[in-house]
Amino acid sequence: RLFLRPSRTVTEGLKGGLYDSTNLPPHFAAAMKESPVVVCGPRIGGIPELAEAGFCIYDLQRLHDEFAVGGPSEEEPCAVLEIDFFRADKIINLGDDKKIGDLALRAVSAALGFPDLPSDTIIDLSIIRAKNAVSHFCVGSASCSPGVELTESLYICGDWIDRKGHASWSTEKAVVTGRQAVQKLSAQFGLECDADIIEVEEDTEYLAALRK
């Protein structure tokens, strides 16, 4: 998590989050206008440590109450980015948190298509390392995945749950199956539930063939 010097200009009217404003540099904010989340694959910007590592960028000012523009942290305003790397063995072994912070800032700049921001843009940071924390699935393993309702009155969720209920993956899958579990639990106990799910489009003919 990177805490960055705030831009002199607050960018407003952004889409997709709980809040529509950010203290990120205006060109960064414009690049993330449609969503506070950017998903990036490997080999971004020719950075050696990203040869296999993908990552997600989150603008926390648009997602978290505590960081929102005009929120509790307004006395010391700053832009807040969270960068979640995966398959990041080369990054996790960097012993110096500052090196990881600088690398994360370079990765964000490269992903959004802009020159690197100066390293002193970072005024604070928080690094969490989780080794071997990414799920790896063997071909055909989906057939062994359980459904959301494991047994009567026992509901489960996660990225390893049967995809027949909703064809999503990874973090999205964990969120979707969590909402599905809430729906089933609410139905069982006659509770009101506001956990609608946006259904994904059906697989194309070619993708359906590859899944067989």
The residue-averaged pLDDT of 153-165 equals 85
Q: Check: CB of residue 122 under 8 Å from CB of residue 4.
A: yes
**Helix, strand, coil % in the chain, rounded to nearest 5:** 35, 15, 50
Helix, strand or coil, per DSSP, at residue 122: strand
Residue 73: pLDDT band with limits 50, 70, 90: confident
Confidence check: pLDDT of 211 > 90: no
Only one residue has tokens 């309702």, namely 149
Q: How far apart are CA 141 and CA 145, in angstroms?
A: 7
Q: How far apart are CA 76 and CA 65, in angstroms?
A: 15
Q: Check: CB of residue 58 under 8 Å from CB of residue 16.
A: no
Task: Render pLDDT for 41-70 as a digit per residue (tens, 0 to 9).
Answer: 999 999 999 999 999 999 999 999 999 999
Beta strands (DSSP E) in the chain are 2-4, 37-40, 54-59, 79-86, 122-125, 149-151, 154-155
The residue-averaged pLDDT of 110-122 equals 96
Q: Check: CB of residue 81 under 8 Å from CB of residue 71.
A: no
pLDDT at 207: 78
Q: How far apart are CA 119 and CA 105, in angstroms?
A: 8
The residue-averaged pLDDT of 110-133 equals 94
Residue 152: pLDDT band with limits 50, 70, 90: confident
Q: Is the whole model's pTM more than 0.85, yes or no? A: no
Task: Render pLDDT for 168-210 as a digit per residue (tens, 0 to 9).
Answer: 777 788 888 999 999 999 999 999 988 888 877 777 888 778 7
Residue 142: pLDDT band with limits 50, 70, 90: confident
pLDDT at 115: 96
The residue-averaged pLDDT of 120-132 equals 93
> Which residue would you say has higher pLDDT here, 25 or 74?
25
Task: Render pLDDT for 1-47 as a digit per residue (tens, 0 to 9).
Answer: 999 999 999 999 999 999 999 999 999 999 999 999 998 999 999 99
